[in-house]
Amino acid sequence: MFKNVFGSGFLVRTAHVILTWVITLILFLHDTDLRRQEETGELALPVLFVLLVLLSVLLYFAVSLMDPGFVLSDDCDMQFTLGITEETQDMIPQSTKSIRLRRCGHCLLQQPMRSKHCQTCQHCVRRYDHHCPWIENCVGERNHRWFILYLAVQLLVLLWGLHMAWSGLSPATSWPLWLRSNAVLLAAGILVTTLALTVLLLLGSHLYLVSLNTTTWEFMSRHRISYLKHCGTDENPFDRGPLRNLWGFFCVWESVVWEQVYFKQSNDAI
């Protein structure tokens, strides 16, 4: 279920953890609200902040090391599961959205619908969303919801850290003196602001796509995906409405046979 922590993404993961704890340490060493509360014995918020940072790091490692949904063998029972035979497929008009199981040209395995081969991971990934260099892993069927949870927690940590950095900026009699006295906190604040904006955009875009029941790959490469080519510009065969899409994504944990959903939608449209 989890990959080796010392794998190809070791340097990226190490840099992420070091940067996280260095910024946290900066916030505690300078005269921020965190340090003032710690010095006065009000430990509730400082402890909560550290626990939230720790949770974000644990979620980062979970998403980074988790199997995103690698396709490791042919699903020989797929056609029988769907109740679709070759004769049935031949009877479906070519103008409709018929199912066509593809064999990957790289790993030579049959690709379930909505899967894609990742050149970096060297595996096909179920319900492939994208390969994220930040976590050095693909985001797919098994870890996508955990990725979004990580983004939400990380955004909360960054916004809280930005507020703490702002609270530690001290006044000075001149602009050069102010820069010298606040240089470290200012640099940390700028970095945290940049990261917070990035995470906010990522979280917002992923929640939007999830509400449509589409993936980043499908959204960006719709014109090149075989099972979406025959759909209209605004047509999504997997869309069941925003509420049902969000419920299915976050609350339904079993794997979905997307060929079955696709075929059902195709029949409904006839």
Quick one: which H or E segment has residue 221?
none
Pairwise CA distance, residues 132 & 232, whole Å: 29
118, containing H or E segment: strand 116-118
3-class DSSP state of 160: helix
Catalytic annotation present for 132: yes
> What are the distances in angstroms from CA 164 to CA 49, 192, 228, 256?
10, 11, 47, 43
CB 229 within 8 A of CB 223: yes
Distance CA 7, CA 35 (A): 37
Catalytic residue among 132, 138, 231, 251: 132
Residue 97 and residue 84 in contact, taking contact as beta carbons nearer than 8 Å: no
* Most distant pair of Cα atoms in the chain: their distance: 84
Q: Using alpha carbons, select from 52, 58, 5 the residue that is nearest to residue 27.
A: 52
Which residues are annotated as catalytic? 132
